[in-house]
Structure 1
Amino acid sequence: MEIRAIITGSTGMVGEGVLHECLQHPDVKEVLVINRRPCGVKHPKLKEIIHENFYDMLPVATKLHGYNACYFCLGVSSVGMKEDRYKRVTYDLTMEVAKTLAALNSDMTFCYVSGAGTDSSEKGRSMWARVKGKTENDLLKQPFKAAYMFRPGFMLPTDGLRYSQKYYKYMTWAYPFFRRVFPQWVSTLAEVGQAMINVTLYGYSKPVLEVKDIVTLAHHP
């Protein structure tokens, strides 16, 4: 199987890390990134669309045919946001992209990055977890070939990438300890990207992937 992947969020830490893994993987033949600003990466496999309004994908829809994977890594922190605003930039935006892609590519595997602690019931006390839970639930209803919800916790950044968040870099010294003592919360960013590729190639037994599932899938497809 040859993967032709669309990646969102490649000017952020997670998306950049996933893009890095895709460009190195022999089964990924083509990558299209959709960004509001250039990602700064040049590679023979890579194409880029600059598109500012993710709430309206119609202007670029004709360029989104023929892809069989989407790795949706676009997201924002909920810190300082009220729920209606956070829902707008998380749920509404994601669903616009997903519905557009589902209508164009019936054989697509859609991977969405939410986070450890996401609330599938949509009723918990944590605002961000409720919004992410609703986003996950509604993505799973879309007519994709398959959809998988990724819930990473702490991710060890990939060396040499530009968008790693500073607080992740400051904690890398403690990574071996966290990996040993709290394996249910810790992975590498590379493992997240490898797991997305492997779930596209081989599938997985359940649609919601916690950290242990991500690590398992990254190493044992």
Structure 2
Amino acid sequence: MKAIVIGGTGMVGKQLLKQLTENDTYSEIISLVRRPSKLSHAKLKEEVIDFDRLNDYSGLINAEVLFSTLGTTIAQAKTKKAQFKVDYTYQLTVAEIAAANGISSYVLVSSAGASSSSALFYPNMKGKLDDAVRKLPFKVISILRPGQLDGIREEKRVTEKISLTVMYFLNRFGILKRYKPIQAHEVARAMINAAAQKESAIYTLSEVFDLAK
């Protein structure tokens, strides 16, 4: 089976690519990235592309499964407009091309609390993307809504580390368990297992943990 991955240089994306290369179900993995990574494997082909010209690369977006882990933070993007372009516009455009090319299965990493009716920017943006991709003609659409992601990042995020520490502490007392942190490798494993499902579904945090088993 052939897979397309976008967001392969991120924390979840790297774990996903690693697990896909170790999975006998997948014989070829195409990773579409904005910048080169350090990943190398016989089954992996990395394509550095301009995400502002995605239609120019439509021929590359052809496989059985599309995995989408693309995303950025407001700190990296600097503005909400720039973050929206990465987290919404790029992902939706790739999904639209994939659906038009006949890719049958689509797996998207969203976020806990995602809702297009939210008054908050981030969950509203994630919810709008979830709503938009669910209208596309994939045979199976899997949307994962994990809590805060934990794992090894290349860049240091002091605020994120503090937030994770606080969240783990609160979870010990049963507080905010809906947003319980989850390891990147667990999300990656859940994505691969989701791709094997026969029906579309939105997986909440507890279901993502179950799917990762």
**Which TM-score bucket, shorter chain as reference?**
0.7 to 0.9
Equivalent runs, 1:61-72 vs 2, <5 Å: 61-65=58-62, 67-72=63-68
2:69 paired with 1:73: yes
2:192 aligned with 1:197: yes
Runs of 5+ unmatched residues, structure 2: none
TM-score by length of 2: 0.83
For 1:144 and 1:164, the matched residues in 2 are separated by 35
Query: For residues 198 and 183 of structure 1, what CA distance do their matches in structure 2 show?
Result: 23
Aligned AA (1:189): A
Distance 1:176 1:91 in 2: 32
Aligned to 1:145: 139
SS in 2 for 1:6: strand
Residue of structure 1 aligned with 2:44, choices 46, 55, 66: 46
On the 8 A contact 1:106/1:143 being kept in 2, the answer is no
Counterpart residue identity of residue 144, structure 2: F
Q: Is the 8 A contact 1:183 1:212 kept in 2?
A: no
User: What displacement does 1:175 show?
Assistant: 6.1
For 1:14-29, list aligned pairs within 5 A.
14-29=12-27
> SS in structure 1 opposite 2:8?
coil
Give the 3 Å change call, closer, same or farther, for CA 25–176 of structure 1 in structure 2. Answer: farther
Give the structure 2 partner of residue 126 of structure 1: 120
C-alpha separation in 2, matches of 1:90 and 1:142: 17
Q: Distance in 2 between matches of 1:180 and 1:5?
A: 40
- The alpha-carbon distance between structure 1 residues 16 and 180, as it changes in their structure 2 partners (threshold 3 A), is farther
The 3 A distance-change label for structure 1 pair 177 and 46 is: farther
When normalised by structure 1's length, the TM-score is 0.81
CA distance in 1, matches of 2:212, 2:90: 28
The one-letter code sitting in structure 1 at the alignment partner of 2:110 is: S
Separation in structure 1 between the aligned mates of residue 150 and residue 33 of structure 2, nearest angstrom: 24
How far, CA to CA, are the matches of 1:76 and 1:162 in structure 2? 13
What count of residue pairs does the alignment treat as equivalent?
207
Alpha-carbon spacing, 1:209–1:63, altered in 2? closer, same or farther (3 Å):
same
One of 8, 14, 17 as aligned partner of 1:10? 8
SS in 2 for 1:38: coil
Equivalent of 2:202 in 200, 203, 208: 208
Q: Secondary structure at the match of 2:20?
A: helix
- Alignment map for 1:101-180 (pairs within 5 Å): 101-107=98-104, 109-119=105-115, 122-157=116-151, 163=154, 166-167=157-158, 178=171
Gaps of 5+ in 1: none
